[in-house]
């Protein structure tokens, strides 16, 4: 089974994000960038599928600027076989990414597309769902367990009330949730090996897709600064504060 994994380059999850002075977005200059954590989980799952003899080839795809190649290299070092960069300097929103990924899927013909449930930079949580709709494929989102049967997948999904298990026909799009697995660190020998693995570069403009933005960011602002905590002297004082100051009981 051929598996395609979509990975996004985002600001490292441990970096404190700074909002630009003009409120038009966040600072990305001189900021550490990494693979989106949920995409790492998707890559790890694909590598485990290959180790278990379920996946035959893992192709990693990222849409964005030239430097997204670093993110693809990270996935190759984790165990993916080859990469595709859909290159553009234009801003890409979920619908455009889903359309570009659809074009790659049509070219590569994978049986499964693994993705993160959301990108932690914009928290859209849309691209996987849009891709499956555009392809007319089955989808299972927020996966915390994936098992393969002959022509289907059994996916355990994390939902508000607990866990839900669904069986979906292949081909399918599956998005990874936090508890699906714990991604490995790439070893030094594998980082070296990854340097030799191929990455194809496809100019986004050559895929014949209308990737124009449909959303306009009106304003980006910092969350309100949290107030300092206070120590209370007794349970009665705590109850009084909760009732009369916080007004939560
Ligand atoms: P989002 O819908 O933006 O929250 O992203 C959900 C998932 O879509 C991510 O975890 C990736 O798997 C995929 N994705 C989003 N943006 C890109 C991108 N530029 N290139 C490749 N995959 C992406």
**Tens of pLDDT along 98-109?**
999 999 999 999
Pocket test for ligand 1, best of 90, 127, 142 (most atoms within 8 A of CB): 127
> Homologous superfamily of 2-224 in CATH?
HUPs (3.40.50.620)
Three-state secondary structure call for residue 91: coil
Q: Which residues of 80-102 are buried (b: 16+ CB within 10 A; e: fewer)?
A: bbbbbbbbbeeebbbbbbbbbbb
The rounded Cα 14 to chain-centroid distance in angstroms is 16
Which tokens in the block code for residue 146? 């994936």
Position 227 confidence tier, pLDDT thresholds 50, 70, 90 = confident
Tell me the per-residue pLDDT of 118-177, one tens digit each, with 9 for 90 and over: 999 989 999 999 999 999 999 999 999 999 998 999 999 999 999 999 999 999 999 999
Q: Is the CB–ligand 1 distance for residue 118 below 6 Å?
A: yes
pLDDT given for residue 246 in this prediction: 87
Q: Is the CB–ligand 1 distance for residue 126 below 6 Å?
A: yes
Q: Is the CB–ligand 1 distance for residue 68 below 6 Å?
A: no
Q: Report the atom number in ligand 1 closest to the C-alpha of 63.
A: 20
Average model confidence (pLDDT) for the chain? Answer: 96
Which tokens in the block code for residue 231? 């120590």
Q: Is the CB–ligand 1 distance for residue 71 below 6 Å?
A: no
Ligand 1 atom 9: residue of nearest CA: 116
pTM: 0.92
Q: Kindly give the distance from the C-alpha atom of residue 131 to the centroid of ligand 1, in angstroms, as a whole number.
A: 10
Q: How big is the chain, counted in residues? A: 249
Task: Please give the Cα distance from 175 to 38 (Å, whole number).
Answer: 8
Tell me the per-residue pLDDT of 54-86, one tens digit each, with 9 for 90 and over: 999 999 999 999 999 999 999 999 999 999 999
Ligand 1 atom 17: residue of nearest CA: 8
């Amino acid at each position: 089974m051929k598996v395609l994994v979509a990975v996004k380059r985002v600001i490292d999850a441990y970096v404190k994000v700074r909002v630009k002075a003009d409120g038009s977005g966040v600072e990305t200059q001189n900021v550490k960038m990494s693979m989106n954590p949920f995409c790492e989980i998707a890559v790890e799952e694909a590598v485990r599928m290959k180790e278990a003899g379920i996946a035959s080839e893992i192709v990693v795809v990222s849409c964005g600027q030239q430097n997204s190649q670093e993110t693809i290299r990270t996935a190759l070092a984790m165990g993916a076989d080859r990469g595709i960069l859909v290159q553009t300097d234009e801003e890409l929103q979920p619908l455009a990414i889903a359309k570009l990924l659809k074009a790659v899927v049509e070219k590569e013909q994978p049986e499964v597309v693994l993705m993160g449930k959301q990108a932690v930079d914009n928290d859209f949580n849309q691209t996987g769902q849009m891709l499956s709709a555009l392809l007319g494929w089955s989808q299972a989102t927020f996966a915390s367990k994936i098992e393969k049967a002959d022509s289907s997948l059994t996916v355990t999904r994390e939902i508000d009330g607990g866990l839900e298990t669904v069986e979906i026909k292949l081909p399918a799009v599956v998005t990874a949730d936090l508890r699906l697995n714990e991604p490995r660190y790439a070893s030094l020998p594998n980082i070296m090996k990854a340097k030799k693995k191929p990455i194809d570069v496809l100019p986004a403009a050559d895929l014949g897709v209308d990737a124009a933005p449909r959303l306009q960011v009106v304003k980006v602002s910092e969350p309100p600064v949290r107030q300092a905590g206070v120590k209370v002297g007794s349970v009665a004082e705590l109850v009084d504060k909760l009732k009369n100051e916080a007004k939560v009981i």
